[in-house]
Amino acid sequence: MTQRLHLVFGGELVDPSKNVFKNVGEIHIVGMYPDYASAYNAWKSEAQRTVDNAHMRYFIAHLHRLRDEETAASPTEELGL
């Protein structure tokens, strides 16, 4: 069985229309989850908790995609960065 890790994180954005954090040092790491369903539940809980602040955003990062060696390299990887 393939493990599909997901990271839930969020913080205050500079502008609600962009995905640029106001202060990277204050990013809230909610946690790491073994499947999308549990990550989604954690994301939803944090998003609802901060619904009154339009600048707060939470995201789900699909970490398992970073480990997928079958997928072609991203442009960043191709540059050697």
Please give the sequence-ordered ranges of beta strands (E in DSSP) within 1-81, or none if there are none: 6-12, 28-33, 56-62
What is the per-residue pLDDT across 2-38, written as a single tens digit (0 to 9) for each? Answer: 678 899 999 999 999 999 999 999 999 999 999 999 9
The yes-or-no verdict on residue 61 having pLDDT over 50 is yes
Instruction: Give the model's pLDDT for residue 73.
Output: 55
Rounded-to-integer distance, Cα 37 and Cα 34, Å? 9
User: Is 53 within 8 Å of 10 (Cβ atoms)?
Assistant: no
Q: Which residues contact 30 (CB under 8 A, 6 or more apart)?
A: 8, 9, 10, 42, 43, 46, 58
Domains, the chain, with CATH or none: 6-78 (3.30.70.2400)
Q: Please, what is the average pLDDT of the chain?
A: 85
- Cα–Cα distance for residue pair 18/24, rounded to 1 Å: 14
